[in-house]
Amino acid sequence: MSSSRLLQRTLWGTPLGAGGAAFAVLVLYVLGNVPSRSLPIVAGAVVGGAVWGALAWWSGGLAAPLASHILWTGLMLLLPPKVGREVAA
């Protein structure tokens, strides 16, 4: 059984439905980032979790949100935000 089938059978098949399960996972994702006590990290978790949850719900699987997360993480490692650093003119 593929991981996306397992996800569909475990989360999507709950009384919450697909949208409710995506929202529950979003809340858990944000709560997992709250201990960082960093507003940008928590805000990023809200936005990222919503996007990746919506992708999982829309696509019905894990491939789209996983690919999106890998792409985002790779871009953040290659081109980190310039917050708090001096920008060359």
Number of domains in the chain: 1
87 in a structural domain: no
Per the confidence metrics, is the pTM higher than 0.75?
no
Distance between CA 55 and CA 39 in Å, rounded? 24
Give the pLDDT of residue 70.
Answer: 93
Banded model confidence at residue 68, pLDDT cuts 50, 70, 90: very high
Burial class (CB in 10 A: 0-12, 13-18, 19+), 46: middle
At 30-53, the pLDDT tens digits run 899 999 998 888 998 899 888 888
Give backbone dihedrals phi and psi of 57, rounded to 5 degrees, phi first: -65, -45
Give the pLDDT of residue 41.
Answer: 86
11 in a structural domain: yes
65 in a structural domain: yes
Rounded to an integer, the average pLDDT of 6-17 is 60
User: Residue 12: which domain range?
Assistant: 3-75
Q: Is the pLDDT of residue 78 over 90?
A: yes
51 in a structural domain: yes
81 in a structural domain: no
23 in a structural domain: yes
Helix, strand, or coil here: 5? helix
Distance between CA 20 and CA 59 in Å, rounded? 16
